[in-house]
Chain A
Amino acid sequence: MNPAVLTLHDAGEKLRKHELSSQELTLAAFQRISETDEKIHAYITLCRDAALEQAKQADERLKRGGNPPPLLGIPIALKDIFVTEGVLTTCGSKILGNFVPPYDGTAVKKLKERGAVIVGKTNMDEFAMGSSTENSALAVTRNPWNLERVPGGSSGGSAAAVAADQCVAAFGTDTGGSIRQPAAFCGVVGLKPTYGRVSRYGIIAFASSMDQVGPITKDVRDCALMLEAIAGHDPADSTSADRSVPLYRQALTGDIKGLRVGVPKEYFITGIAPEVEQAVRDAIRLLVKNGAVVEEISLPHTEYAVAVYYIVATAEASSNLARYDGMRFGHRAGGKDLLETYMLSREEGFGPEVKRRIMLGTYALSAGYYDAFYLKAQGVRALIKRDFDAAFQRCDAIVTPTAPTTAFKIGEKIADPLQMYLSDIYTISVNLAGLPALSLPCGFDADGMPIGLQIIGKQFDEATILRLAYTYEQATEWHRRKPSL
């Protein structure tokens, strides 16, 4: 058995018991990558030498014993949106095709301090804009369960790498579903924490008011351990919350008796695949069987979420992406003067989806349109938040499908942005409201593609959704299935 198939907590136990070394584990991950990544293309950059050095150091720390942190010696992958000192960081874009950052972001620093081994940087939709990873300027990532299908996006590389055991666990980012939707498509667990739970310093910005870092893992326990490692206040991120971080692993009690679970009626109407609905309804029944109390709830403004999101997110993006001007880093075209250099650098450097969103966002903020678009969208966003507040008066968590369908075919939606946008219909509201939400496997469709169950929690109540997810996972076998590659 290749030890890279292990979960983080199993591998960690073997490391601490000295039944396995980090170097063996890391080499095993690279072995797995060399066997499978030609098919999957999960990675943009591999950090083999640095990873083996980190593994060696981890082995030394493990030898000293004590109480090593859970991630010590564990090979993990990072979405290429994480700024890594000295390591190419493209954000899936040609405009950063040559960008080697001079600093590490806060999450990366924490991971290094905790002794994690960074295997490489994974593929993603350019600037995290997309739901299939097809918008990457560098590669097309394939779903390990079916190479003709997309892995989801934008953290498609991270989800595929975890599903294909090319690493033990990975991190992604989620602005409108970019962790949860690919986790669902690839049959793994993905968690988007509460906005402010994890520092955004060193995460290349897409939509600053919604971007959030989170883990993609093989099971729920791993997810809890990964979140513990990176959560917490960061003075370098003014939007990070100054609140203590609980030991999430302690939430994994298996006891959900009396927990009130809401099921929003608006999430089971349009466009949902029957097999997905069936799997989610079955999952809800299982929760009830384990002691949860389920009731139907209403989130009346759900239908506006996609529209609001594509105004707010694109407005912020249009400004966040202004810095890619070819002046200080990244791609610079040879223009005859300043204006032409700006225009050609951005023309050549950005892909079509990024340009589309920059234009949408620029328009939404323009004089004369600001009130009608941006301001109106912020108003509706507040209403969507209020829907959740009201719902959480009556329940402790909300359960929905993660995506309306299972992974679609590569090329199927790329020509139709609106169809693509709708694949995030169940995940987007959560980002608008700043809530935590998790996706975990809850079945497979007739084509053998994984289905994801989404559990949404109250602000800063990741513990409850982890507890629910863990209980469900303990009662099912979905997470143990592996794609055949």
Chain B
Amino acid sequence: MSYEPVIGLEVHAQLLTESKIFCGCSTKFGQAPNQNTCPVCTGFPGVLPVLNKRVVEFAIRAGLATGCQIARSSILARKNYFYPDLPKGYQISQYELPICTNGCIDFAVNGAIKRVRLTRIHMEEDAGKNIHDLHGAWSLVDLNRAGVPLLEIVSEPELCSAEEAGSYLRTLRAILQYLEICDGNMEEGSFRCDANVSVRPVGSAALGTKIEIKNLNSFKAVEKALGYEIGRQTETLTGGGTLIQETRLWDENREETRAMRSKESAHDYRYFPDPDLLPLVINDAWIEEIRASLPELPEARKSRFISEYGLPAYDAELLTGRKDIADYFETALKTHAKAKSVANWIVGDLFRVLKERKLDEQLTITSWPVRAQQIAELVQLIDGGKISGKIAKTVFDAMLDSDRAPIEIVAEKGLEQVSDTGSIEAAVERILAAHTKQVADFQSGNEKILGFLVGQIMKATQGKANPQKVNEILRQKLKADR
């Protein structure tokens, strides 16, 4: 019997608000331990939460961007459990009546578009951090993160492979980044993922035993852990074993999952509506205001790049996968509107440099090796016949980390393309005279030799000769000499 996996993902996205979800404390990362705290987020007796309106706005943005229904009335609930990083002994979250339900995300997989439905998106507060092994036998608690706003985004169990899961996650992250509500940093924990995975005999409609995997700190970890877990479950069932519903931890070093707790020892969180917070009522006018302010999202931008700029789907995909790159591209177009040639330089040479400098690992690129306007001017020089594509590479290298206009560099280095017929003819004649054997070869039918001759002429003109003209003149001369 062969098995197929069924995967659902739960993403926790930290929101980019200035202050925490229920108090005025800063959300700034990297402060001294417990600096961003007050009686409210440390759960002192007598304090009360007040919901940050911005968090609601961000949740609505996420909901609208993923086609969710926005609840006109939703409930904040308490999730009760004891842990030192949870000061109140309960987390304020949403349970019944979350703010967003029934959305979907479309993403590309193997060249096709797949749609996965979202069960819900809800708001909740983050917990603090327990720090072990720093103070002897004691554990330390840093509550700076306690009360930082999160969105929990829950997909339906509709993903069918580790690869799909990765693609879904990247798309979701791009959406949140386009919305400017989450920076999407998996390593720093501002974009976290728990995966639920089960396997079932191919063709079966019933779901198998669900395993939850935690501690997935990168896209790679998600894909590897799912791959491992699908294999483990399949092998267990194939070998006649049974699976138990449990939570497993991904061990990055050993590249395996191991049991953390079973369903029997799972918490009873005793959810109930938080009596300190009234039901959250959202009016249509506010939703429409937010809808009107939504930015163009990755999918829409990609389609527009194809239709408006005539780009191939592949280029459009590469350029719109990140908002900063898409913005860079469109900024460049303001200087030089030839979209395809600008796109070529971005996905080609610029991407190579970004990769070399590991800038592509940054969440957003703030200091580009060359400015968008510079790259546009460079392409303009090529398209205007001022320099050849080959020379342009030299100019591009000279532009890196300098603020200089490409035309300046061309002038300074004397790289301007030579297009006047006289000097090209002279060069052609010199080369033909020096290569009589090759000329004879050509005339006896070996047309391939033409490339060699062009190369020699370009070399003689330090690459500055207009290659089209060189070709033209060379062919004329060879014909005449025949």
Contacts and interface: CB of A to CB of B under 8 A. Distances in A.
A71 to B, nearest CB: 21
B80 interface: yes
Interface in B43-67: 43-51
Which 9 pairs from chain A and chain B are nearest by CB? A322-B89, A208-B275, A209-B275, A365-B270, A83-B46, A204-B45, A323-B43, A202-B46, A367-B268
Nearest to B266: A367
Contact of A201 (B42, B46, B139, B141): B46
Contacts of B78: 319
A342 interface: yes
B39 interface: yes
B87 A323 contact: yes
A234 B42 CA distance: 21
B45 A366 contact: no
A342 B274 CA distance: 24
A319 B90 contact: yes
A91 B275 contact: no
A480 B263 CA distance: 65
Contacts of B274: 208
B84 interface: yes
Given A238-B278, A338-B84, A374-B272, A323 B46 contact: no
Nearest to B23: A236
Given A236-B48, A316-B275, A322-B90, 18 more contacts: A89-B45, A102-B39, A105-B46, A201-B47, A205-B45, A205-B46, A207-B275, A208-B274, A208-B276, A235-B50, A238-B50, A238-B278, A239-B278, A319-B90, A323-B87, A323-B89, A362-B270, A374-B272
Q: Is the interface of B mostly helix, strand, loop or mixed?
A: loop
Contacts of B45: 83, 89, 91, 96, 99, 101, 204-205, 323, 329
B50 to A, nearest CB: 5
Q: Is the interface of A mostly helix, strand, loop or mixed?
A: loop
Interface string A310-350: 00000110110111010111000000001000100000000
Contacts of A327: 84, 87, 141
A93 B84 CA distance: 22
Interface in B2-52: 39, 42-51
A238 B78 CA distance: 16
A370 interface: yes
Taking residues whose C-beta sits less than 8 angstroms from the other chain, chain B's interface range is: 20 to 34
Interface of B: 39, 42-51, 78, 80, 82, 84, 87-90, 139, 141, 268, 270-272, 274-278
A200 interface: yes
A251 B50 CA distance: 33
B341 to A, nearest CB: 57
10 contacts: A101-B44, A103-B44, A208-B274, A235-B50, A239-B48, A239-B277, A322-B80, A328-B42, A366-B268, A370-B270
A302 B39 CA distance: 39
A208 to B, nearest CB: 4
Contacts of B272: 315, 319, 365, 370, 374
A322 B91 CA distance: 11
Nearest to B47: A201
Contacts of A236: 48, 50
B46 A204 contact: yes
Contacts of B275: 207-209, 239, 316
Interface in A96-111: 96, 99, 101-103, 105
Interface in A188-230: 200-205, 207-209
Nearest to A205: B46
Contacts of A89: 45
A237 interface: yes
Contacts of A342: 82
B264 to A, nearest CB: 13
B417 to A, nearest CB: 69
B48 A328 contact: no
Contacts of B51: 238
Nearest to A315: B272
A102 B278 CA distance: 27
A319 B86 CA distance: 13
Interface string A38-79: 000000000000000000000000000000000000000000
B20 to A, nearest CB: 14
A82 B399 CA distance: 67
B276 A323 contact: no
Interface in A272-327: 315-316, 318-319, 321-323, 325, 327
B361 to A, nearest CB: 37
B44 A329 contact: yes
B89, B268, B278 — which one has the most chain A CB atoms within 10 A of its CB? Answer: B89
Contacts of A105: 46
A365 B267 CA distance: 13
A238 B82 contact: no
B43, B271, B275 — which one has the most chain A CB atoms within 10 A of its CB? Answer: B275
B88 to A, nearest CB: 5
B48 A323 contact: no
Nearest to A240: B48
Nearest to A95: B45
A321 B139 CA distance: 23
A105 B39 CA distance: 11
B89 A319 contact: yes
B48 A238 contact: yes
Contacts of B82: 322, 325, 342
B75 to A, nearest CB: 12
Contacts of B49: 238
Contacts of A99: 45
